[in-house]
Structure 1
Amino acid sequence: MKRVVSILAIALLLNSCDDGDLIQEDISFEEAITQSCSTNNIIYKLKEREALLLEIPSTSFANDISLTNTIIDINSSNRVYYRFYNGTVSAANICETIPAATPIVTDQWIASNGKINIKTTAIKTVNTTENSSRITGYNHNIFFNNITFNKSIGTQFYETFPFGDYVTTAVTLPFLFDKTVEICSNSNIIYNYTSSESLTLDIDKTLISDVVTPLNTPRIGTIGTTKNILTYRLFSGLLTGTYFCNTTVPTTPSISQEWNAATGISNVSGIIEVTTTTNGPNSFKHTIVLKKVTFKKGNSTFLLGDNFVYGDLLTTI
């Protein structure tokens, strides 16, 4: 009888160990840096003889702040792999069209289902002297929910599993304008431009009066939605002065980015100051300064600065 009980106990023990989840193994890549391939849509982390791979379209990483997480299904198009190698793994094993012959993959876990979550925030550089900021990149925090890995023996499930941060670079906005602006004869649009960018102001014409302003008493306006509209554009082709003052916006060069100034608050933000002085007989110079302006595109914003000299507009009577 004792022998029968012992055999039964051993059988139960073996059965409990062979339920499809033999061992819960930990995957830890917290200290590994996220890298990406230039030849495919794989981002990855490496650790000695291990690799954690995420294959996902690059369009999943929008260069804009996400108010809610981007959620993507793990499937045949959006794949997650955890691989083991018999030697130190490198980018050549991940990104090359013909991977390096060594080290060799000795085992891999393939995610069969789950969700990919992406939370995006902006990376900014701040100039404390000017109180200005510029966006230099976007940080995409990636984690998986309810992910199941199919292993060589059994499966492994994580309710929440962090992949880590992945950084994409933002296109630099040059802001290389000179300090001379022009105005269209057929509208109230003032513009400044370089070969690749423009800064236009659809101004309240009362701010441009050929009358000298008293000392330290500029004319003041506030950025709005129907007048005093300030727009920054970055172009993908060569920009010339013929682009401006048309009744319809030209299709070339094409606009790659457009940022609109946020509506201001009187004497608080989005302030336009115009100081008018004489510039010779029957000639005037209107110096336009933009104060505490915030630019916005989508959910992303940056600060122009406390005092940004837009430029001088010359007029005659």
Structure 2
Amino acid sequence: MKKYLSLILFAFLLNGCDDGDLTVQEINFDNVTPVSCSEDNTLMYKLKSREAFLLQMPKTGGLVNDPGTYVYDIPTGGNGTYRAIYRAYDGALVADNICGLIPPSTPKVVEEWIATSGKINITTTQKTSERADDGSTKLIGYNYSINFTNITFAISNSKPQTYPTYPFGTFSSTVSVPASLSFDSENASTCSGTNLNRVYNYSAAFFVMIDNIDPDLLKNEVTPPSQPRTQLVGSTKNKVYYKSVQKETGSFSKDYFCNASFPTSPSIAEDWIGQNGDDTKKTGMIEVTTTLVGDTYYHSIILKRVTMLKGNSTFDLPTDFSLGRLEVKP
């Protein structure tokens, strides 16, 4: 009897020997961090020694640089702009096997699972710098937590597999906003002779503006010592902008600012507005101190505790941010 049992066990071991192919029963990339093939993050992947998990998304409608949760459908059948594919190979993998314009001939794909339904859930959170000595913060990037729900994979010569939930992982991006807050001049400018009521300061790469500023803030009257005029930042009156230029599209000049609508050139890279002020919290305030030298009035304009917004993203200007000194000769 023992002889027959030994023969049966030996036969089982022979059938279970590794013939060089990778047999996959489930996808497991728990300890692998997602990587992107390019700056537009349209193809992301996770690699193991002989396995790859790929996620393809469009440039617009994939990773969104704004805190929130974004949900995308994997098209029925697995063909479309949102795709998830698992592959097993007959040899060791490197990034060029995934991202190369002409994929190498080896290693070869020996098994492929294609997602044919399900949802891609991406939760974006903001990464913010430590608060600087001047009270400012910077937006330094985003984290994207990517998960699948009810994802079904079609598998050749096997039954489909469905995962109620499956984590793809967290991907991180890096940005730097604001890129700069250093003006070319300490003097602010205004759109005098127009009905725009704008005060601004700028460099070639960015500008900060108060649009539709209340004329009472800029009265040609000397303010008493330590008693500046104050008003709150608003959504229509005293609206604050920060805008930066898109690289290689030009630069800001004085001709840009006093048009009824902003010119289309240069292109805008970052477009932020000031959060409405709160008198109780003493945030989002505009302070103007006016002095008179000879026949010239000088209005020193300070933005105090102003938070800048773009969607759900934020950064803080310095606690006392000088827009500059506006020179006015009546």
Shorter chain as denominator, the TM-score bin is 0.7 to 0.9
* 1:134 correspondence with 2:138: yes
Is the partner of 2:96 in helix, strand or coil? Answer: helix
* 1:194 correspondence with 2:196: no
In 2: Cα distance, 1:173 partner to 1:188 partner: 25
Name stretches of at least 5 consecutive residues in structure 1 with no aligned partner: 1-22
Q: Match for 1:164 among 169, 174, 177?
A: 169
Deviation at 1:76, TM superposition (A): 0.4
With normalisation by structure 1, the TM-score equals 0.84
Aligned to 2:17: none
Kept in 2: contact 1:24–1:156 (CA 8 A): no
- Which AA in structure 2 matches 1:167? S
Aligned to 1:230: 240
Kept in 2: contact 1:183–1:190 (CA 8 A): yes
Deviations 1:93-115 (A, max 9, x none): 00112212333322222222211
Q: Match for 2:91 among 87, 95, 100?
A: 87
Deviation at 1:238, TM superposition (A): 2.1
Is the partner of 1:206 in helix, strand or coil? Answer: helix
RMSD over equivalenced CA pairs, Å: 2.3
* 1:313 correspondence with 2:318: no
Pick closer, same or farther for the CA change 1:246–1:79 going to 2, 3 Å: closer
With normalisation by structure 2, the TM-score equals 0.81
Aligned to 2:222: 212
Aligned to 1:117: 121
Kept in 1: contact 2:137–2:315 (CA 8 A): yes
Deviation at 1:40, TM superposition (A): 8.4
In 1: Cα distance, 2:319 partner to 2:73 partner: 41
- The number of residues matched between the two structures is 293
- Which AA in structure 1 matches 2:166? F
Aligned to 2:65: 63
Deviation at 1:24, TM superposition (A): 9.0
- Fraction of identical pairs, as percent: 41
Q: Which moved more, 1:150-159 or 1:246-255?
A: 246-255
Kept in 2: contact 1:261–1:295 (CA 8 A): yes
In 1: Cα distance, 2:263 partner to 2:155 partner: 57
Kept in 1: contact 2:41–2:63 (CA 8 A): no
Is the partner of 1:132 in helix, strand or coil? Answer: coil
Pick closer, same or farther for the CA change 1:157–1:226 going to 2, 3 Å: closer
Deviation at 1:231, TM superposition (A): 1.1
- Which AA in structure 2 matches 1:158? Y
Is the partner of 1:284 in helix, strand or coil? Answer: strand
Runs (4 or more) in structure 1 with deviation over 4 Å come to none
